[in-house]
Amino acid sequence: LALKRMSVRKGYRGAGIGTALCRTALAFARQGGHRAVVLSTLMVQREARALCERLGFRQHRRYVLPTAYGHLADCTVTVYRYELAGTD
pLDDT tens per residue, range 33-68: 999 999 999 887 888 899 999 999 999 999 998 888
HSE (CB half, 13 Å, CA atoms) of 50? 6
pLDDT(86) > 70: no
**Is the C-alpha dihedral spanning 35, 53, 59, 76 positive or negative?**
positive
Q: What are the angstrom distances between the C-alpha of 75 and each of 39, 62, 63?
A: 16, 10, 8
Cα(61)–Cα(77) distance, rounded to whole angstroms? 8
CATH domain 2-83 topology: Aminopeptidase (3.40.630)
Domain boundaries in the chain? 2-83
> How much is the pTM?
0.82
Cα(39)–Cα(85) distance, rounded to whole angstroms? 18
Stronger pLDDT, 32 or 71, i.e. the higher one:
32
Cα(9)–Cα(46) distance, rounded to whole angstroms? 15
Q: Stretch 12-23: mean pLDDT, rounded? A: 94
